[in-house]
């Protein structure tokens, strides 16, 4: 992996990631392909939306279809017919979410599979082995996602365990050609976040991620942590904010110096009839859209907005037609990728602060 910053505007950065499978312009948003598919989309449609890199899920792919099936095709790229870069998460967040079904210890986590109830063990070495089998371009260290709310003592213990696991992940990764990113933890305590970053930087990783946000904390707490830690992350390495978020969250984080994002929000919201536009969000099932012959967003060039009315979309959603999820997802992902393109253009032009303020004001109405 190569990384170079070409322009800055305040703390916002315009950069490029280079991989054997292609370049990724940052700031970038990675659609989430949990089970080897970004729900409702073909890889060709993802590329048409502007996606340059997607995220795969170690936990879910390990359970279904299993590494052997993916490896028989070559890599996850071959399995799902996506030729561009893939980042795989470590499975730590999914294991954390299995409250009551897991047993944590220093070696790793034993949990009951949500697929068939079988007992499964996942630790740092196992997570790295799965990510190698998937052939990801960027692998993530196995970490413990600190719950919210957590007191300082609990957050410190969790953060320190994540650091120990990160060192084990690096040893297991060895000289593998994929990039390996460390994950900063520490809950809502800036001094713990800085201690986590210092420990990861001392070990040395190809990039650094901020984990443990958007887990239920107030928006102000998330912004406090981003302000405190993002500008302190190594300037010559990519900075990744995991699992965040809304367009407004992304704009705030870019202003703090973040380069990479992923979130299920655009795809999950699309399946539920919540569609993003530059003038605010549209809940397409609402009664006022039933007879509206206008497009969802007159300024959007996606196939959904060019070809279908709000009334037709409302009809599809009300009838639970499969096409509703496809057209809604196509639009939301196009919206996110267009936003990232506009963010990059604003940084290059040196007007990012004004762009972000105008964008948020237009969406707020």
Residue count (the chain): 365
Predicted confidence band at 311 (pLDDT cuts at 50, 70, 90)?
Answer: very high
Within 74-142, where are the H helices? Answer: 76-80, 92-96, 124-134
Calculate mean pLDDT across residues 284-300: 98
For this structure, is 206 an active site residue?
no
At residue 126, the pLDDT reads 98
State how far the Cα of 170 lies from the Cα of 176, in Å rounded to an integer.
10
Predicted confidence band at 61 (pLDDT cuts at 50, 70, 90)?
Answer: very high
For this structure, is 116 an active site residue?
no
* Average pLDDT of every residue of the chain: 97
pLDDT above 90 (res 97): no
Determine which one of 143, 249, 262, 297 is catalytic.
Answer: 262
pLDDT above 90 (res 62): yes
Pick the CATH number of 2-263 from 3.20.20.105, 3.40.309.10, 3.30.360.10, 1.25.40.10: 3.20.20.105
Q: Domain residues of the chain, as ranges?
A: 2-263, 272-365
Which are the contacts of 241, defined by CB distance < 8 A and separation ≥ 6?
Answer: 209, 210, 213, 226, 230, 253, 258, 260, 261
At residue 69, the pLDDT reads 98
At residue 98, the pLDDT reads 87
Q: What is the pLDDT of residues 141-174, one digit of tens each?
A: 999 999 999 999 999 999 999 999 999 999 999 9
Report residue 161 as tokens.
């365990």
Determine which one of 9, 89, 249, 297 is catalytic.
Answer: 89
Handedness of CA 338, 339, 340, 346 (dihedral sign): positive
pLDDT above 90 (res 215): yes
Between residues 198 and 365, which one has the greater pLDDT?
A: 198
Q: Model's pTM, two decimal places?
A: 0.97
204-216 CB burial, b ≥16 within 10 A, e <16: ebbbbbbbbbbbe
């Amino acid at each position: 992996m190569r990384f170079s910053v070409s322009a800055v505007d305040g703390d916002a950065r315009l950069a490029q990631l280079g991989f054997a499978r292609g370049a990724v312009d940052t700031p970038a948003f990675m659609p989430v392909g949990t089970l080897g598919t970004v729900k409702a989309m073909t890889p060709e449609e993802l590329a048409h939306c502007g996606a340059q890199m997607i995220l795969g899920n170690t936990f879910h792919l390990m359970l279904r279809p299993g590494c052997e099936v993916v490896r028989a095709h070559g890599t996850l790229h071959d399995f799902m017919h996506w030729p561009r870069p893939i980042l795989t998460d470590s499975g730590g967040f999914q294991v954390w979410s299995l409250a009551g079904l897991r047993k944590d210890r220093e070696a790793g986590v034993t949990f009951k599979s949500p697929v068939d109830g079988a007992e499964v063990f996942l630790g740092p070495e196992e997570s790295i082995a799965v990510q190698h089998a998937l052939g990801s371009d960027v692998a993530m260290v196995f970490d413990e996602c600190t719950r919210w709310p957590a007191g300082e003592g609990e957050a410190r213990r969790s953060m320190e365990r994540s650091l120990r696991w990160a060192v084990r992940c690096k040893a297991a990764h060895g000289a593998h050609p994929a990039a390996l990113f460390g994950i900063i933890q520490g809950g809502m305590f800036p001094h713990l976040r800085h201690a986590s970053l210092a420990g990861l930087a001392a070990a040395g990783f190809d990039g650094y991620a901020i984990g443990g946000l958007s887990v239920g904390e107030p928006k102000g707490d998330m912004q406090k942590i981003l302000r405190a830690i993002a500008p302190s992350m190594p300037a010559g390495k990519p900075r990744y904010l995991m699992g965040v978020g809304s367009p407004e969250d992304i704009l705030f984080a870019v202003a703090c110096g973040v380069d990479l994002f992923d979130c299920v929000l655009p795809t999950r919201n699309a399946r539920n009839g919540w569609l993003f536009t530059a003038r605010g969000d549209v809940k397409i099932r609402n009664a006022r859209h039933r007879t509206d012959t206008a497009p969802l967003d007159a300024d959007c060039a996606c196939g959904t907005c060019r070809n279908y009315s709000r009334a037709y979309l409302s009809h599809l959603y009300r009838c639970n037609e499969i096409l509703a999820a496809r057209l809604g997802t196509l639009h939301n992902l196009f919206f996110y990728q267009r936003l990232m393109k506009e963010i990059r253009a604003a940084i290059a032009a040196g007007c990012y602060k004004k762009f972000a303020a105008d964008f948020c004001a237009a969406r707020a109405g």
